[in-house]
Structure 1
Amino acid sequence: MRTTRTTVGLALTSLLLAGCGGGTAGQHHATPSATPTHSAPSPTASPGHGAGSATVTGRFAPYASGAPAVTYDDKAVPDGADVGVDVSAADDRTEFALRVRGLQPDRAYGAHLHTRPCGEKPDDSGPHYQNDPDPHQPSTDPKYANDKNEVWLDFTTDSQGQAESETTVDWVPRAGEARSIVIHAEHTRTEHGHAGQAGDRLACVNVPL
């Protein structure tokens, strides 16, 4: 198993920036003053090239029925902040990439794959998706709550509120059992009794796996 994580990755910058309204790497997206940020098009989602694959690009907004990306904390994840997710599965391996822009600068966030779609309430997205499910829920045992059995995409934003994170796991999510990526308030803990915890759920992105 190989896991890679970075806060200023370049692999999917062109793809995700294109879906998030243009711009170049290292530059904060500027919204024209005549057009409020929240009026931008909603995020779009599309299946990838195989089971367990998907691409999502767009902007966070307050919850509405069918909203592809939702913010529950407008200070930590502002309405209109850009988000991009790319999931690619092949040969019993799955690569995940998350990109954000317009969040609080110089701040640590947690991010995980969850089992249910985004809902009106933060907890509606259910628990973390686990390749080998912990029989005791909520799962805080490092045997199950770890970055090999789950998808962790923790990141730290730069001075402009941008970040990218990537990870690869040696499995493909079971069809219909992994439905969203949730952004949390802090980096993920690893000690027994708290493993997998990362504070409040700040935002959620629907991912059609």
Structure 2
Amino acid sequence: MDHLRYSGFSFEAQREALLAIVSADPLVRDALAQARSLDLPDWLVVSGALYNSVWNHLTGKPSGYGIKDVDLFYFDDSDLSYEAEDGVIARTATVFAGLPLPVEVRNQARVHLWYPQKFGRPCPRYTSSSHALRFFASRTHAAIRYDADGQLELVAPFGLDDIFSFRITPNRVMDNQQTHEAKGRRAKDTWPEISVVPW
């Protein structure tokens, strides 16, 4: 049960543990450094690349194990066109060319424009990259970036105990049951230590 050694700790203790783990992980460390160099507005490295890296560390698996991609959010509401976002994606592709996993870049200011067509239901208009995290299908996630002083800044709207307890907990703020269950199945296949809280 050593993989649960941070479960139930205070938020501050879990925050320190998470930042130490991801700072030492080559995949996350490189992704953060490269994301910082892009100087995108309100950027965040989000989700699986972080909590999966924590699970890998705590279960003795190698960096990058089970991780599909690195999610990079930014927020720019000055131009909501597809072309503007596509230009950013093209620019980031060269910066991330050396990373071992693909990087998926998305402007959170325009998610509400394509989400209904892709998922068949409306999505709130987000006000920041951090705001988007509150609407994920599961509460088991976090995001980080460098602040203006070069310190790692953590965004964890639901805390960190789900991550450190190897527990995927639904976030019922939207009708995302299917996404939550798919995420749970995939995680359980990759990290058998995971428990999935039913929707």
TM-score by length of 1: 0.29
- Give 1 or 2: higher helix fraction: 2
Ranked by relative contact order (alpha carbons within 8 Å, sequence separation 6 or more), the top structure is: 1
- Give 1 or 2: higher strand fraction: 1
